[in-house]
Structure 1
Amino acid sequence: MLTLLRKLLDTSKKDIDNLQPILKQINDLEPTVQNLSDDELKAKARSFRDRAKGGEDLDKLMPEVFATVREVSKRTTGMRQFDVQILGGMVLHQGRIAEMKTGEGKTLVAVAPIVLNALTGRGSHLVTVNDYLARRDAVWMGKIYHFMGLSVGIIQGQNQESDELGGSYMYAPGADEMGDPRYLDMVPCSRRDAYSCDITYGTNHEFGFDYLRDNMAFSEEELSMRELNYAMIDEVDSILIDEARTPHIISGPSYEDVSVYNQINAVVKQLQPEVHYTADKKNHSANMTEEGMDFVEELLGIENIAADPRLFHHVNASVKAYALFTRDIDYVVQKGEVVIVDENTGRMMFG
């Protein structure tokens, strides 16, 4: 029954069949593109940008662009995109998910659709899972982008657990400014300059936090990102499902009286599980019982805690902290600061 349902609901084969005519166009163009000189290929890339900025439909440009990128890839990296990689790139351009088997070259699959969507000058983002991959793939594929006349930015975080240098960079062939062999062909730049590049590589966390920071900006000069256009996500199941359970939160210095936290902490420490509150770790919830609320009101010397929403919030938050979070599992304390541990990766989330 399940096999039958999969056959009825799975349109993958039909979708691939529908892309075969476009794949044939790309393959038919290959002999012509192979005969072009480097200068002629670069001129062709410039013409693509002019046509895209002039409003030509990217779907119409796709066969020529993909055929050109395939040839440029051969000349600059020694790797030719196979038909399965071309098909994967077409699916990604359409905004859909492409599942590639191990060894089918996901890094190279991304290049053609990233180039195609960067031609308009409005930017393309490639979202990956860690700083190492952002740097490695941007530099590795940077030869292709550079040949096509496109600039490349790299956004890295400042994670204390990573040995990556962190910061913002632009791809620059031959550069050696960082004194680190891993950062060859990269020059440091501002966050804004990295986002102003035609193509920007970075992690989901960095893109997410930069977006939040931009929404807190008071002037245009404080913005890092520009208007969002196109993004491709590597390991989409991990980023949009697993890691999406961990919220991105930006905090700033508090100027409020923090003595209330010590007061509430002293009260909540005296509460007994299953008597004064119930906890459900699976659903990540904790709630005070009627007896618990009466006990808290007695300890605080007030008649109705619900009449003070701010105080009620602090008590509930403290109950959840004690009931749902375990030290050295869900969080650690370093140098007097609490650091949350990512439940998906087991890594500490500094900052």
Structure 2
Amino acid sequence: MTAPAELLHPANPDLLPLLGRTPLARIRTPLPHPQPGFWAKLECLGAGGMKARSAVAMLRGARARGELRPGATVVESTSGTLGIGLAFAGQALGHPVVLIGDAELEPSMRQLLRSYGAGLEIVDRPDRHGGWQTARLTRVREVLGRTPDAYWPDQYNNADNCAGYQAMADEITGELDHLDVLVCSVGTGGHSAGLAATLRRRWPALRVVGVDSVGSAIFGQPARPRLMRGLGSSIHPRNVAYGAFDEVHWVGPAEAVDACRRLARGCFVSGGWSTGAVALVAAWAARSDPDAVVATVFPDGPHRYLGTIYDDTYCRLHRLGPEHAAPHPLELARPDAGEATGWARCRVVADPLEVRP
């Protein structure tokens, strides 16, 4: 059986040429200090956003292996961005999409996902141990159990997630003659792993800097409730290529907000939590070595965050003013040397599930 007839829609392959081909912008805005500039891939200007790349790759891979039947329903957990990408992929390839969000998913994002034709279920309380992420995954399994032939991409552990960024890497190598430092936000681990593997074949000495959220467990910090969405995780995705990173930075919400607002005022290009976090670290990298060519990826634009990052009342309530933003990273000798509550940096990167006392 396939999905119920009322959920089916025909494939629209005319959408696929709209995927990717996003511009690479030069960013010179002080963040917060003057810096010589870095390159930013503006994924907000691609149809479906950055994660449409991985969504299309995951569905195509599943179809090729026979795991995803024609017209079958796709079910996935999302904090928003992948949901947009899957809605795009579902329309392009002809699959209904059911998304599992949580109570913190913004009303505007809920409206947008539903407008794109996706089904949306909301979990109303976090898991006692694994937070919202685990609660969403539990609901994913429930939906899979009651939906015939449904397919779960499992973005956190699906290698096609990483492969979906091959085209982005090719776009970067087509525009830059050289690259010294790549700065990537890390959530599922998909775009950092995909970009690092491809770009290092072109530039073997490339340094890769991971950017995580405070309160995220990915790089060995304790999992805590996180204000920031879109980067970080309370679980350990297998797609994270720990060996690819030369160092990791944890960024707090105050630093991300400050960077986003400076970008909006200074160069008209801005975005959400991940964009602010990687912009801050990319500017730091460019400032630390003015001769280095530094590039990063801005995953999305600002519109989703008008009620949070760009809302003065919200920022006052959560103490996110510039006076709360660290101007420099705190140095940690090891990922577990102390808990990062604001911008911190560590030059030791290891898979926390493989580290032994």
Shorter-chain TM-score range: under 0.3
> Whose RCO is larger (CA < 8 A, sep 6+)?
2
Greater share of helix = 1
TM-score, normalised to structure 1, is 0.28
TM-score by length of 2: 0.27
The structure having more radius of gyration, on CA atoms, is 1
